[in-house]
Structure 1
Amino acid sequence: MARVGYAMLVVTCPDARTAESISRRLVEERLAACGNVMAPVTSIYRWKGKVQRDSEAILLLKTRRSLVRDCTRRVRSLHPYELPEIIAIPVVAGLPDYLAWLGRETRLPTKVRR
């Protein structure tokens, strides 16, 4: 059996409600097995030439590496920001039973139609 790779997407959202909404959609659509919302967090960043400080929420989505592109597209379509932070981090190790569950709870990626 081929080894399945996994990833965690880090997504900043304007608030916990938005993060929960995005998480629920991706889990319902089996693009992610799990989403965790951490709020509030303080974000400091440069945007359009000015240093900004905002209260945000961080959404962590666990998925297959092969679904990262589909997850990114879906998050982007649901996200209210002009330029949302969506970063994928490879999972290099984890509890085998948890990783097996993650694989069962996510669907196989759709084939790209050309």
Structure 2
Amino acid sequence: MIRLRLYTTLGCHLCERQESLLALLLQSDYNLEKIEISDDEALIERYGVRIPVLADEAGEELDRGFEPPRLAAWLAERHWLDEAAWQRLNAGESEPREEERKPSGPRPAGRRYLL
């Protein structure tokens, strides 16, 4: 199983877009740990203007993974890219079909918004 971390905050529409793309483009099951940065000043300092930031188990990070070509290239480097899904996305399907969505877990509750 692929294990990933997503540095995010509540209400981040780019983070939601990246989650949607991950559900579409990853070729196998994965575990996405969402790290709420607003609870930690050090994380806000490091990631506040960069979220969403996706990290693999080795700690390699991807900024702007909500841009499909960047995410696809990052996944392909790790041999995790679902090539057929990437082809469909490039052919004009902008959102994952319902049967391709993978649950990513509950949203954190009680978090503050970053401004």
TM-score by length of 2: 0.32
Query: Whose Rg is larger?
Result: 1
TM-score by length of 1: 0.32
